Chains A and B, each alone.
Chain A
Amino acid sequence: MTATKAILRSLLLFTFIFTTAATSAAELVEVSVYPQNIDLTSSRDRQRLIVQAKFADGITEDITEQATITNGNAEVLRQEGCLFYPQGDGETTVNIEYQGKTLQVPAKVQNSAVTPKVSFSLDVMPVFMKANCNTGSCHGAARGKDGFLLSLYGFDTRGDYNNITRDFSSRRINLAFPEDSLLLTKGSGAVPHTGGTRFRKGDELYETVHEWLQDGANMDQGEIPTVTKVDIYPPGAVLNGEGAQQKISVRAYYSDGTDRDVTHLAYFSSNNDNSAVVEQDGIVTAQNRGEAFIMARFDTHTVGTQFIVLPKNLQFTWNEVPENNYIDTHMHNKFKKLRIIPSELCTDEEFIRRVSLDVTGRLPTVEEYNTFLADTDPKKRDKLVDELLSRKEFVELWVMKWAELLTIRTTNQISYKSMLLYYTWLQERVANNVPINVMVQELLGSNGGTFANAATNYYQNETNTLKVAENVAQVFMGMRIQCAQCHNHPFDRWTMDDYYSFAAFFSQIGRKRGEDPREIIVYNSGSGEVRHPVGNRVMAPKFLGGETPDVAGKDRRQIVANWLASDENPFFAQNLSNIVWAHFFGKGIIQEVDDVRISNPPVNKELLDALAQKLTEYKYDFKKLVRDICTSRTYQLSTKTNETNEKDTTNFSHATLRRMRAEVLLDSITQVTTTSNKFPGLPSGARAVQIANGNTSTYFLTTFGRAKRETVCSCEVKMEPNLSQALHMLNGDTVNSKIAQGGLVATRLGEEVPHEKIIEEIYVRCLTRKPTEKELTNLMELVGQEENKQQALEDVFWALLNSREFVFNH
């Protein structure tokens, strides 16, 4: 280094320290160190420490470089900055001091003289992941790339070993001259490589592979420890302004009780590069204001940590916002971290429309509107929620939602009678407030005829074992495990082993014809296994993310049902709470609701945990959860944003516009025009929400995206607009005919109600508000120009039904 450079460097260093020291004006409240112990078990082992400061305003700062880190015993540990290597066996302490706060990290060193051989499974396989060799776009593709095939994200260690050592012999690996192996020359870019330079000679990654080759490129013998858990540190960070940095580190725990600092082997990614980027050395750099989830993948484990980025030294004052219940508490905690002030409460008019549509799928009537607005009780909103929850329309709406999740419809396998019995079964359970866990246990463990015990239709809807398992995971746990059918899930913890051992619960479903040719009898056949496609092993049934129960001689489905719909399965209550939440906010705390995975974290984990906890406490009576949601302040926020939350689209700091779903929209048009519909299988006047069969539809419902219930995917309900919808609302028979059929305008004219009052009534019916003065003036003027007053007033009605304000819930 030249002298100038050295001066410049020290100057920069000085500036750096000076700047960071001045970053947070708030008081230092806490200093933490990660991990909280050092445990070295071979000469190859090492451990990095990370020190983080937390300030009173919530900002965190990486102070690893500023803190004084002292090695307690140089004969046990060798220190290089914040990295510790084994020196000799023994125990000691590492001391950390920062601005008067001190911490101790116990350290233990064993086998410091033992240097284990480089292991293919433990050392070489991680290189392929870290260097991105085995991704789907490179050698992990189904047919490999440029003649070299690796298993996607390393799901098949033995297969990869064979491809490397047995394929393309003496070129891909060259044991005589290891550094001439294509594995190294390609990877290091010494010869042309489509994938570029992945590592360099001298790198740890390069040297690991090189050493393994020098040792003879052997497969590991004996039992190989497996990774049981991976931790990422620090558990979270709030960064102060663009450019602020935080180092992260990753530690893996193995089945033999050892741990390992795998920061250099973990593959890092950010789910929002716009707010925080992460380099492969584990340094996170803040970008623009927002949130990012920083993930590390090692072995089959993906772990993540939440980062919040704020504008530098953002001035923010939290004015106490009232909290109606625990939901608001958790929301406000998050808002404080994000420096967001939630919107104001919505008006009474907005509230009654919103809550009526959400809870009952109906618009408030004119009478309901007048009564509610005239009520002066400060508790009137809570009263209204209770009243709406007791209505039968609330039940009907949720029967429809469950019917979508259970894909209730006629098919080649399910007769109309079966379908109707299945629907009735569901309806009885929801109407009688049967706890959801009981209902789901009954459903998944069901045996018997599809007429006699209609819940068994669940297993007629889908007869493929793997698909049944996928559907169960998606609907009741919110997880899409499909990926793991062919390879370890790239963005989640699920391996192929998990997938096939979960599917094994559904491998013994017997089906035979009943007396009635339309009836199928579903029973426990007691035989049938699921095999792993790699190696053809029979897989023992294992709960997803849980244990391996004893299934010998038992009905496997009843065992999985009793576990799945219980407190033991942490995903069940969480998933249900999220589904319920999404109904009221148009978006889940995890979005999509059926795409729960580590790389798709909840926007507010504490809130989701609290909701799940409550649901369990309520003994899975979801009505109580709905009450909590609707009476929370968060649900009652206005759509109007303020300076701090106008950019927020994920944290529920203001209400959002949600289009009415197809059934509710048709029912609403029918309601406000005082008309009725006749759907197949239902009496005249029934609502679209009550249609039992997914296959029964009308042009209107199909066009506006009613779910056909062909799949369990939450995406079946379409809320997107299209050309046919616009044309149908403008010219179609629904709006035009219903206005004429209902004859509301003609009736009011007959009663000699003044035109202003008629317009006002249509407004209240459609939009749950009175027209503004300007609107009334404009419309009265347009009506005044017309000879035919009835026609003109009906055109006002038409305009209101076509208005954006009508089709959206706001």
Chain B
Amino acid sequence: MKCKGNSLGRRSFMQVGFLGGLGLSLSDYFRMKKVQADQKFYESVEGPAKSVIFIYLPGGCAHQETWDPKPFAPIEYRGPMNSIETAVPGTRLNETMVKTSKVTDKIAICRSMTHGEAAHERGTHNMFTGYRPSPALQFPSMGSVVAHEFGPRHNLPPYVCIPNQPNVFAGTGYLSSSYAGFSLGSDPASGSFQVRDLKLPGGVDDNRFGKRRKMLTAVNDYFASKEKADSLDAVDTFYDRAYSLISSEKARDAFDINKEDPALRDKYGRNTAGARMLLARRLVEAGTRFVTLTYGGWDMHNNIEGSIKGQVPALDQGFAALIEDLEQRGMLESTLVCIASEFGRTPKINANAGRDHWPKVFSVVMAGGGTKPGIIYGKSNATASEPEEDALTVEDWATTIYNRIGIVADKELMAPGDRPIEIVNGGKVRQELIV
């Protein structure tokens, strides 16, 4: 007896026979088609926020002593510090935030940020990637995703970290390293500040550099004719980007904080907060899409009053100056400024007069770039220990930021092993935060 098999076998045979007629050269095409069909795809089109300045306060900034004071809470919750009225009646900030209190009508303060990660690295992971940490996959930071979606603008690197990539989660994750942030390697607040290797070395002028490049071409030609490899092309890409950066004075100038008006430098403050923010503004003005900068150390387990008085004034001055400066230049509408930290701090003052880690509720700030000015979004409860209204999840927060930049966060990018992964998994745009 013959085994007849099933009809499907023949049908697929016919189909494949037909495709076979198209020839093998289409293999890549089919593969591409397949991948596209399996991936959620949305075209990224520049949104209202043409650039982002992401100000990160490492260590876990106490929300009670900054954006969410609780003047009516019992003293052990309220803490030792007072609060002040601001430009928006009824919105109070910590007593040290004198300058920022005058720009609250231009910014959105979210007092209901929440996630469950009380360890520094896990909380940091959340805020930089929009994902909870996974043991199986490294997620890309928002800056790298922006670089991936839009690429460079006006010869400037799309993603810059001031002064350096602050932590591993600000990296490219599963994306190619070509989307990594460009680390300045030097602090703009320092008197000797200079971005490494941007300028030709001493004794090499444009003329000599031109000759060097001719020699380099003469040497590279032989190898290029002999070898073909993706890794080789990648090196070429970065050499080309380096050439365009070196040769464009305008692009290089963006990194030169000394080109800035001294009066404005004073206004921002000549310290790590002010100088970094001012440089960030120069970079986004010149074409950089995403700048990540860090300021200070906020892990205030001891003596919160002293620590806040040490850290906040510079942040207060720099941030207020940044908002006003952007507005005067007409850039606030197209520049999204965010302030974030990995978590807030415990509702009660601890035995060392400090506060410990508290991820259940804390505050973040968004300003410009198509976000709603002059609002308080969400609310923490009376002791600043739980969100009371509009709890803002990490996913929703990241999705809202991506939305302003013009990226649909539901889009899938390809992780190793042909795994399509959403930029943010399941986030929603918070309409109340955007205009």
Q: Which of A's residues lie within 8 Å of B, judged by CB?
A: 12-13, 16, 64-71, 79, 81-82, 241-243, 245, 247, 273-274, 279, 281, 283, 285-289, 311, 470, 480, 482-483, 485, 639-640, 656-659, 699, 710, 718-728, 730-733, 736, 772, 774-775, 778-779, 782, 785-786, 791-792, 795-796, 798-800, 802-805, 807-808, 810
Across-interface contacts of A805 in B (CB, < 8 A): 219-220, 222-223
Contact in complex: B222, A772 (CB < 8 Å):
yes
Across-interface contacts of A287 in B (CB, < 8 A): 27, 30
B103 contacts the other chain (CB 8 A)? no
B10 contacts the other chain (CB 8 A)? yes
Across-interface contacts of A65 in B (CB, < 8 A): 2-5, 9
When the two chains form the complex, which single residue of B13, B24, B200, B226 contacts A289, counting CB atoms closer than 8 Å? B24
A288 to B8, CA, bound (A): 21
Whole-angstrom distance between the Cβ of A654 and the nearest chain B Cβ: 11
Residue of B nearest to A312 (CB): B20
Across-interface contacts of B157 in A (CB, < 8 A): 723
Question: A65-B3, A775-B218 known; A727 and B197 CB under 8 Å?
Answer: yes
A66 to B227, CA, bound (A): 48
A279 to B211, CA, bound (A): 60
CB interface residues, B 5-28, toward A, < 8 Å:
5-6, 8-10, 12-14, 16-17, 19-20, 24, 27
Contact in complex: A483, B136 (CB < 8 Å):
yes
B245 contacts the other chain (CB 8 A)? yes
Across-interface contacts of A785 in B (CB, < 8 A): 211
Question: A782-B218, A795-B211 known; A720 and B12 CB under 8 Å?
Answer: no
Question: A279-B8, A727-B198, A775-B219 known; A722 and B177 CB under 8 Å?
Answer: yes
Question: A722-B180, A723-B182 known; A795 and B238 CB under 8 Å?
Answer: no
Q: How many interface contacts (CB-CB < 8 Å) are there between A and B?
A: 198
Whole-angstrom distance between the Cβ of A201 and the nearest chain B Cβ: 20
Residue of A nearest to B241 (CB): A723
A288 to B208, CA, bound (A): 51
B271 contacts the other chain (CB 8 A)? no
| Given A245-B9, A287-B27; 16 other pairs, CB 8 A cutoff | A70-B1, A242-B16, A242-B20, A274-B34, A279-B8, A279-B12, A288-B24, A657-B231, A720-B177, A722-B182, A723-B242, A727-B245, A731-B199, A779-B215, A779-B219, A786-B211
Contact in complex: B13, A16 (CB < 8 Å):
yes
Contact in complex: A810, B245 (CB < 8 Å):
no
A730 to B209, CA, bound (A): 9
Contact in complex: B10, A16 (CB < 8 Å):
yes
Q: Which of B's residues lie within 8 Å of A, judged by CB?
A: 1-6, 8-10, 12-14, 16-17, 19-20, 24, 27, 30-31, 34, 135-136, 157, 168, 176-178, 180, 182-183, 185, 196-201, 204, 208, 211-212, 214-216, 218-220, 222-224, 226-227, 229, 231-232, 234-239, 241-242, 245-246
Contact in complex: B8, A283 (CB < 8 Å):
yes
When the two chains form the complex, which single residue of B1, B183, B199, B218 contacts A79, counting CB atoms closer than 8 Å? B1
A285 to B30, CA, bound (A): 15
Residue of A nearest to B177 (CB): A720
Residue of A nearest to B201 (CB): A736
A798 to B275, CA, bound (A): 35
A106 to B10, CA, bound (A): 30
Across-interface contacts of A16 in B (CB, < 8 A): 10, 13
Across-interface contacts of A736 in B (CB, < 8 A): 201, 204
Across-interface contacts of A64 in B (CB, < 8 A): 3, 5
26 pairs from A and B in contact (CB 8 Å cutoff):
A12-B10, A241-B20, A242-B19, A245-B13, A274-B31, A274-B34, A283-B9, A283-B12, A285-B16, A286-B16, A287-B30, A482-B135, A482-B136, A483-B136, A485-B135, A657-B229, A723-B157, A727-B242, A730-B246, A732-B196, A733-B201, A792-B211, A796-B215, A798-B215, A804-B232, A808-B227
Closest 3 CB pairs of A and B: A720-B177, A482-B135, A243-B16
Contact in complex: B1, A724 (CB < 8 Å):
no
A66 to B4, CA, bound (A): 9
Contact in complex: A726, B212 (CB < 8 Å):
no
Across-interface contacts of A281 in B (CB, < 8 A): 6, 8
Across-interface contacts of B199 in A (CB, < 8 A): 731
Whole-angstrom distance between the Cβ of A195 and the nearest chain B Cβ: 16
Across-interface contacts of B211 in A (CB, < 8 A): 782, 785-786, 792, 795
A415 to B237, CA, bound (A): 42
Residue of A nearest to B38 (CB): A273
Across-interface contacts of B231 in A (CB, < 8 A): 657-659, 719, 721, 808
A277 to B2, CA, bound (A): 27
Contact in complex: B219, A656 (CB < 8 Å):
no
Whole-angstrom distance between the Cβ of B188 and the nearest chain A Cβ: 17
Dominant secondary structure of chain A at its interface with chain B: mixed
A279 to B6, CA, bound (A): 13
A480 to B199, CA, bound (A): 44
A687 to B200, CA, bound (A): 28
A470 to B135, CA, bound (A): 10
Whole-angstrom distance between the Cβ of A394 and the nearest chain B Cβ: 26
Whole-angstrom distance between the Cβ of A732 and the nearest chain B Cβ: 4
Most chain B CB neighbours (cut-off 10 Å) among A699, A720, A726, A807: A726
Across-interface contacts of B4 in A (CB, < 8 A): 65, 81
A728 to B177, CA, bound (A): 17
When the two chains form the complex, which single residue of B204, B212, B235 contacts A804, counting CB atoms closer than 8 Å? B235
Across-interface contacts of B6 in A (CB, < 8 A): 281
A287 to B27, CA, bound (A): 9
A662 to B236, CA, bound (A): 18
A470 to B34, CA, bound (A): 35
Contact in complex: B3, A12 (CB < 8 Å):
no
Across-interface contacts of A658 in B (CB, < 8 A): 231
Question: A68-B2, A779-B215, A799-B218 known; A723 and B223 CB under 8 Å?
Answer: no
Contact in complex: A722, B223 (CB < 8 Å):
no
Contact in complex: B10, A69 (CB < 8 Å):
no
Most chain A CB neighbours (cut-off 10 Å) among B5, B136, B215, B234: B215
Residue of A nearest to B164 (CB): A702
Whole-angstrom distance between the Cβ of B397 and the nearest chain A Cβ: 19
Whole-angstrom distance between the Cβ of B269 and the nearest chain A Cβ: 28
Residue of B nearest to A586 (CB): B231
A795 to B199, CA, bound (A): 17
Across-interface contacts of B12 in A (CB, < 8 A): 245, 279, 283, 285
A723 to B2, CA, bound (A): 66
Across-interface contacts of B197 in A (CB, < 8 A): 724, 727-728, 730-732
Contact in complex: A67, B3 (CB < 8 Å):
yes
Whole-angstrom distance between the Cβ of A527 and the nearest chain B Cβ: 27
Residue of A nearest to B236 (CB): A804
Across-interface contacts of B245 in A (CB, < 8 A): 723, 727
A247 to B197, CA, bound (A): 60
Across-interface contacts of B34 in A (CB, < 8 A): 273-274
Across-interface contacts of A699 in B (CB, < 8 A): 185, 196
Across-interface contacts of B177 in A (CB, < 8 A): 718, 720-722
Whole-angstrom distance between the Cβ of B92 and the nearest chain A Cβ: 37
Whole-angstrom distance between the Cβ of B407 and the nearest chain A Cβ: 21
Across-interface contacts of B1 in A (CB, < 8 A): 68-71, 79
A763 to B326, CA, bound (A): 53
Residue of A nearest to B183 (CB): A724
Residue of A nearest to B22 (CB): A242
Contact in complex: A483, B16 (CB < 8 Å):
no
A64 to B215, CA, bound (A): 65
A799 to B200, CA, bound (A): 15
Contact in complex: A728, B196 (CB < 8 Å):
yes
Across-interface contacts of A799 in B (CB, < 8 A): 212, 215-216, 218-219
Across-interface contacts of B229 in A (CB, < 8 A): 656-657
Question: A482-B136, A732-B196 known; A723 and B238 CB under 8 Å?
Answer: yes
Across-interface contacts of B236 in A (CB, < 8 A): 804
Contact in complex: A795, B215 (CB < 8 Å):
yes
Across-interface contacts of A279 in B (CB, < 8 A): 8, 12
Contact in complex: B14, A12 (CB < 8 Å):
yes
Across-interface contacts of A730 in B (CB, < 8 A): 197, 239, 242, 246
Contact in complex: A720, B178 (CB < 8 Å):
yes
Across-interface contacts of B208 in A (CB, < 8 A): 791, 795
